[in-house]
Amino acid sequence: RMDSLPEAVLIRILASIPAVDLVLACRLVCCQWKNLVDGAALWIGLAGAECEENAENWQNFYFLSKKRKNLIKNPCGEEDLQHWGEVENGGDGWKVEELPGDFGKEFPSEEVHKYFVTSYEWCRKAQVIDLRAEGYWEELMDTTQPKVVIKDWYAGRSDAGCLYELCVKLLSENEDVLAEYKSETVAIPQDSDADWTEISHTFSNYGPGVRFVRFEHGGQDTLFWKGWYGVRVTNSSVTVEP
> Structure pTM?
0.81
Q: Which domains does the chain show, CATH number per domain?
A: 2-65 (1.20.1280.50), 85-241 (2.60.120.260)
d(CA 32, CA 154): 52
Is residue 131 within 8 Å of residue 234, measured between CB atoms? Answer: no
143: helix, strand or coil: helix
What distance separates the 2 farthest-apart alpha carbons in the chain? 78
- Closest residue by Cα to residue 236 from 111, 110, 37, 74: 74
Residues 236, 234: Cα–Cα separation, whole Å: 6
Positions in the chain short of pLDDT 50: 49, 54
Give pLDDT, residue 49: 45
Q: Within the chain, where are the H helices?
A: 7-14, 19-24, 31-38, 40-47, 58-67, 138-139
Nearest Cα to Cα of residue 154 among 65, 234, 46: 234
Q: Are 98 and 113 in contact (CB under 8 A)?
A: yes
What pLDDT is stored for residue 2 in this prediction? 63
Output the CA–CA distances (angstroms, integers) from residue 191 to 4, 36, 97, 156, in the order listed. 75, 62, 20, 9
Query: Which one-letter amino acid corresponds to residue 15?
Result: A
Predicted confidence (pLDDT) per residue in 97-145, tens digit: 999 999 999 999 999 999 999 999 999 999 999 999 998 989 889 998 9
Q: What is the DSSP letter of 192?
A: -
